[in-house]
Amino acid sequence: MKKKLKLVNKVKRLLKRLECPRWFHHFGPKKYEFWQHAVALLVKQECGLGYRRVSRLLSWLGFHVPTYSALAKMAQRMPLVLWQNILKLTANFKVHIVSIDGTGMSRPLPSPYYYRRIDKPYSVEIPLKLSMPIDTGRKKIMALRLRAKYAHDIKDAKYLIRRFPTNPNKLVADKGYDAEWLHRYCHKLSMEAVIPMRNYGNKPIYRGKSLRRRYRKNFNNKTYHRREMSESVFSSFKRRFGPSVSSLKITTQRAEVYCRAIAHNIIYCFSGLFQRSPC
């Protein structure tokens, strides 16, 4: 029973450090505290269950948890800032090298009946775009951004860097993040951007003093190959939680992905409890 309470105590400590209210609502019956919703949502993503099954399972194990409808409403009602702060607390360590990259995730597809209504003989897949910076030392997810439509990787770079719990010494990325303004932004934050320069041919890439050219002379291949940790975490993330989301609205899709990232960070230490390998 002590092992089962590790996750509960960890969530309670995180919410206490975040100074979250005991109840998430002001005028409700105050029957369930906020940490009970949080634990149920994390277990739901870790075990790959639905709202009904996770509520029933935790009740059988002796936990006092809300009903499935209350869990679904809580996942949709929680603000994005709260998810970001909880994720930031789970990765608040001193970081040396951060690798940033993006991947795609699938969303629920419409039914065959809907395709017949719109005269489409084939399914139309609209993927989600997920970008995450990874701590290459501990394989922790430091931040994330989920987009409903496809966008270039570099559009989310500044958004993710602003949400780092601590500024790393080096930022590693592939050629898709090669831009002079990103090098200057990292230099302003005392970070070294280890990004290979794209081949532009004879086209002038920047007039004046270019940080990209300066970093290209001292480019370290050993540091750049730490970018492989992003691919490793993406593979582990999709094998553990699945490559798709089950929610329909973008608000609940973001809540679902944030729950998976938080569960990845804190259940990494309790992998024996869920009979899972760390990666």
Task: Read off φ and ψ for residue 129, nearest 5 degrees.
Answer: -105, 120
DSSP 49-96: --HHHHHHHHHHTT-----HHHHHHHHHHS-HHHHHHHHHHHT-S--S
Residue 246 has pLDDT above 50, yes or no: yes
pLDDT digits (tens, 9 = 90+) for 30-82: 788 888 888 888 888 888 888 899 999 888 988 888 888 888 888 888 888 88
Q: What are residue 98's DSSP bridge partners?
A: 135, 171
pLDDT digits (tens, 9 = 90+) for 182-203: 989 999 999 988 998 877 666 6
Give the 3-state secondary structure of residue 128.
strand
pLDDT digits (tens, 9 = 90+) for 217-233: 788 888 999 999 999 99
Place of tokens 């920047």: 206
CATH of domain 97-230: 3.30.420
pLDDT digits (tens, 9 = 90+) for 92-118: 888 899 999 999 998 877 777 777 787
Rounded to a whole number of angstroms, the CA Rg of the chain reads 21
CA distance 138 to 90: 12
Q: pLDDT category, 273, cuts 50, 70, 90?
A: very low
Q: Where are the domains of the chain?
A: 97-230
Place of tokens 């639905």: 50
User: What does each C-alpha distance from 125 to 17, 149, 237, 244, 257 come to in angstroms?
Assistant: 41, 11, 21, 12, 19
In this prediction, residues 140-168 reach a mean pLDDT of 91
